[in-house]
Structure 1
Amino acid sequence: MKRGRKIVALAHCILNSNAKVAGIAQTPGAIPVIVEGLLRDGVGIVQLPCPEQTYGGCRRWGMTREQYDVPNYRKHCRTLLEDVVDQMEDYLRNDYEVLGIVGVDGSPSCGVDRTCVGYPGGEIASMQLLPECSIVEGRGVFLECLMSMLHDRGVSIPAVGIDEALQEALSWDELLKKLCRCGEGVGTP
């Protein structure tokens, strides 16, 4: 068999920017440099579901971490992630190398190191079209749920975030180096 036995889990919008809130996609489809590197290196891809699209649909507006950090959205995330966590655990138990999870920094859901905050609440009609928000250190709600669910099962997989706004600086090789640095000593117990 020609299986490479290496896997990476990608935030949904890395492979499908059509799931993003209208107007914020940085590419028409997938992020080419990431996909090309994965194909070149023979790394299998697990596409994480997009919790925002499955929760709010294609016509949703942009929201911040505070708006998503509610019990019902966390329940939605855990429901979406149950099969993903099963899959990751199964790969590891069967001697596959799960290189890591790649999120999108700045996302209120899929941020790894940075997330979007700043929603003050109130009547939407009284707010500016795009309320002021900030990018701060911290995880997005979906990634937080994923890492917690993996931890609860004794599974450790590294996670790194990409900055989509810096498309020219993105490199699969650099991303792989980050995953390897983060992933020393990870796997099943």
Structure 2
Amino acid sequence: MALGFSPRDQRSRRLVAVIECALNQNARDAGAASYPALNKAILTLCMRYDVGIVQIPCPEMRFMGLARERPPGKSIREVLDTPAGCQCCLAISLELVATLRDYQNNNCRLLAILGGNPQSPGCAVHVQCETADPGRLAAPSGVLMRILQEELRKQGIDVPFKGMRDCNRDLLQRDLRWLEALFKNA
């Protein structure tokens, strides 16, 4: 028995980190919500395979507010990918990495980071495939995801990043199959 855990402790000790808007579509930019409330398919898989969820705060909301207030003519990505926006993403990343490290130090296993749609300024996940480091995120990835991966790797935490592309039913089905295979084999 692990120190500090009672024989009745039922935790699976497995978890994923999931972007806020997958768990709360109200966090999405106006016009970008794919569901009325949350992505039930992700939640259903986590429940079926007893995988806990750590929520990744929305960098766009944290930096610009829910309305994504910004200067006229500036995209969310242009505003988020500035020194101040990157500093906001770094603060989120450092807090999240500390939380994830604490889970690991207490016998929990981080299975993946679940990001967002391909166009998300903060949370898109585009993985490089043809490099010496095939898991590294490519430049079109969201600002937060790139910074988060860098901070996780500094801590020796190298987990897969996967975009849960709910903007397209076929892409989401592929992503869900990937996630289910991960859960089955973990």
TM-score (norm 1): 0.76
Deviations 1:85-105 (A, max 9, x none): 011112223321111100013
Which gives a bigger RCO, structure 1 or 2 (Cα 8 Å, sep 6+)? 1
Alignment partners' CA distance in 1, 2:42 and 2:77: 26
Alignment equivalent of 2:57, drawn from 49, 58, 62: 49
Change in Cα spacing, 1:40 to 1:79, as seen in structure 2 (3 Å) is: same
Structure 2's unaligned 5+ residue stretches are 1-8, 128-137
Do 1:102 and 1:160's aligned partners in 2 also have CA atoms closer than 8 Å?
A: yes
Give the aligned partner of residue 159 of structure 1: 161
Equivalent residue number for residue 107 of structure 1: 120
CA distance in structure 2 between the partners assigned to 1:97 and 1:166 by the alignment: 30
Contact 2:123 2:144 survives alignment (8 Å): yes
> Within 2, Cα distance between the matches of 1:178 and 1:167?
20
User: Counterpart of 2:22?
Assistant: 14
Q: Which residue, out of 138, 143, 146, partners 1:144?
A: 146
Alpha-carbon RMSD across the aligned residues, in angstroms, is 2.5
Shift of 1:51: 0.8
Choose from 80, 83, 91 the match for 1:68.
80
Of Structure 1 and Structure 2, the greater strand share is in 1
Segments of structure 1 that go 5 or more residues without pairing to the other structure are 115-135, 184-189
- The two structures have a TM-score, normalised by structure 2, of 0.77
- One-letter amino acid matched to 1:165: C
Count of matched residue pairs: 161
